[in-house]
């Protein structure tokens, strides 16, 4: 028969379970799409979410245009950005934004203006950075058809890929969209290599950097890319890697059957079990190991269920508390909105991609993954994401993407 103190302890634990999973989480997580408590009908919610995404995009566009108008193309900020490219010095970093015109329905309606948002955000962030070159690579056919890029050329350097510098690519068949995307990427990467930088950051025009991008990025360069902590000392990193992904779709950042994610869940459970035992240590005697084990198991499953219910996508956001808490993990395949390359690997990848023909079955991101697997090098991912992906309007597919992901 259980003693009164044991009964009180178990009742307390069960009350915590009930309060958490039956009351608090259903209220707090009801609007979180990646949570187990997201109860909305996704098909009915799609139209509402699409309107929300459109409204948020319009707000960002208005803020970006206000920033551009407030500073002007001849302000110190934009003069510096143009001057850095004109100096022809070897920069520490070249940031190249690959862009093509997007339409949102009808000639009278403006496009989503993603590029304007990216340029304004980077201009704002680059005011405190030295030896960083920023440029836009306009791969639209024809270049002047990308009116947004033409307008922004007054503010920042814009490279145009025109018919004289590009191989003619048929566009009648769907497959050629993917091949053109690959050739555009190669062209922009080659133009970046001409500046002889230490690193190249290739960005799609719908990836907006977060406000804390450069502090996190500089820490990443110092302690993970260039250097490595060995026995408490910072030493040069001898490892060769293919590239670093700075964004991965939130939809796929949840818990799965990957070994590292299972270990992550187990570690969370061990922490939860230890906390439950520590909080109830006053109710144990020295010989009461069975009760202690039971409380530990209850705490273990509480933490595991809590993580699964909330969703890993929201839990890893806690890592934004400090530049030291961001994680570097092996990158999954797919998706290249923001990728960091070394010049050596960028040159090798350019040659590799020139030998590949991309299609709907082999888009450029999967071709890059094939390069990683064939070369035996590693690709890394920084968690949480350093970029917002805002491109609900696709350049390759008709219609819009699932607005829940934006």
Are the beta carbons of 307 and 315 closer than 8 angstroms? yes
Extents of the domains making up the chain? 4-30+255-310, 42-253+316-405
CA distance 84 to 79: 9
By percentage, how much of the chain surpasses pLDDT 70?
A: 87
Angle at 56 between CA 97 and CA 402, to 5 degrees: 75
Which tokens sit at 215? 């502090």
| Residue 376 CA from chain centroid, whole number | 24
270 secondary structure, DSSP code: H
When mean pLDDT is compared across 10-14, 185-189, 237-241, the lowest value belongs to: 10-14
CA distance 291 to 285: 9
Task: Kindly give the pairing relationship between strand 93-99 and strand 378-383.
Answer: unpaired
List beta partners, residue 133: 94
CA distance 406 to 251: 10
Are the beta carbons of 96 and 137 closer than 8 angstroms? yes
Average pLDDT over residues 14-19: 93
Which tokens sit at 194? 């001409």
Chain-wide mean pLDDT for the chain?
Answer: 88
Buried/exposed 131-157: b ≥16 CB within 10 Å, e otherwise: ebbbbbbbbbbebeebebbbebbebbb
When mean pLDDT is compared across 25-39, 44-58, 132-146, 248-262, the lowest value belongs to: 44-58
Closest CA to 167 of 186, 152, 146, 195: 186
pLDDT at 396: 67
Average pLDDT over residues 212-234: 89
Tens digits of per-residue pLDDT, 47-103? Answer: 777 888 889 999 999 999 999 999 999 999 999 999 888 876 789 999 999 999 987
Are the beta carbons of 157 and 107 closer than 8 angstroms? no
**Residue 106: which pLDDT band, with cuts at 50, 70 and 90?**
very low
Neighbours of 51 (CB within 10 A): 11
CA distances from 74 to 125, 157, 188 (A): 17, 13, 26
**Residue 169: which pLDDT band, with cuts at 50, 70 and 90?**
very low
Residues 6 or more apart whose CB falls under 8 angstroms from that of 229 comprise: 223, 235
**For the chain, first and last CA: distance in Å?**
55
Closest CA to 161 of 206, 114, 204, 100: 100
**Residue 213: which pLDDT band, with cuts at 50, 70 and 90?**
very high
Tens digits of per-residue pLDDT, 310-358? Answer: 999 999 999 999 999 999 999 998 899 999 999 999 999 999 999 999 9
pLDDT exceeds cutoff 50 at 403: yes
List beta partners, residue 46: none
pLDDT at 11: 85
CA distance 200 to 195: 10
Angle at 127 between CA 62 and CA 342, to 5 degrees: 105
Helix, strand, or coil (residue 35) = coil
The alpha carbons of the chain give a radius of gyration, in whole angstroms, of 25
329 secondary structure, DSSP code: E
Give me the half-sphere count of Cα atoms (radius 13 Å) on the Cβ side of residue 183: 21
**Which CATH number, 1.10.10.10, 3.40.50.1860, 3.30.465.10, 3.90.550.10, labels domain 42-253+316-405?**
3.90.550.10
Cα torsion at 345, 346, 347, 352 (round to 10°)? 90
**Residue 290: which pLDDT band, with cuts at 50, 70 and 90?**
confident
pTM, to two decimals: 0.89
Residue of higher predicted confidence among 289 and 130: 130
């Amino acid at each position: 028969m259980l003693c009164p103190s044991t009964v009180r302890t178990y009742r307390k634990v069960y009350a915590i379970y009930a309060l958490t999973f039956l009351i608090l989480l259903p209220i707090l997580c009801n609007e979180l799409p990646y949570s187990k408590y997201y109860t909305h009908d996704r098909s009915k919610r799609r139209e509402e979410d699409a309107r929300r995404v459109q409204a948020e995009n319009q707000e960002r566009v208005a803020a970006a245009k206000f920033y551009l108008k407030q500073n002007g193309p001849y302000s110190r900020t934009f003069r510096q950005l143009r001057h850095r490219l004109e100096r022809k010095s070897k920069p520490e970093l070249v940031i190249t934004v690959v862009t093509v015109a997007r339409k949102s329905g009808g000639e009278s309606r403006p496009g989503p203006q993603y590029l304007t948002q990216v340029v304004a955000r980077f201009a704002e962030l680059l005011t405190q950075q030295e030896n960083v070159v920023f440029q836009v690579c306009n791969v639209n056919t024809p270049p002047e058809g990308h009116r947004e890029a033409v307008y922004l050329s007054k503010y920042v350097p814009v490279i145009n890929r025109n018919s004289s510098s590009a191989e003619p690519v048929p566009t009648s068949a769907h497959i050629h969209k993917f091949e053109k995307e690959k050739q555009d990427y190669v062209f922009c990467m080659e133009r970046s290599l001409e500046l002889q930088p230490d690193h190249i950051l290739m960005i799609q025009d719908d990836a907006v950097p977060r406000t804390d991008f450069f502090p996190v990025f500089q820490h990443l360069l110092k302690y993970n890319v260039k250097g490595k902590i060995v026995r408490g000392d910072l030493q040069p990193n001898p490892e060769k890697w293919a590239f670093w992904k700075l964004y991965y779709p939130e939809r796929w950042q949840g818990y799965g059957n990957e070994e590292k994610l299972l270990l992550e869940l187990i570690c969370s459970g061990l922490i939860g079990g230890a906390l439950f035992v520590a909080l109830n240590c006053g109710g144990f005697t020295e010989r009461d190991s069975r009760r202690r084990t039971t409380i530990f198991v209850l705490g273990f499953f509480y933490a595991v269920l809590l993580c699964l219910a909330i969703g890993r996508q929201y839990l890893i956001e806690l890592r934004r508390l400090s530049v030291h808490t961001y994680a570097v993990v092996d990158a999954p395949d797919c998706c290249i909105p923001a990728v960091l390359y070394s010049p050596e690997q960028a040159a090798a990848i350019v040659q590799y991609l020139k030998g590949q023909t991309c299609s709907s079955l082999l888009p450029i991101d999967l071709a890059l993954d094939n390069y990683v697997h064939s070369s035996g090098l590693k690709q890394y991912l920084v968690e949480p994401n350093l970029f917002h992906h805002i491109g609900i309007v696709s350049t390759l597919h008709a219609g819009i993407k699932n607005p829940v992901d934006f």
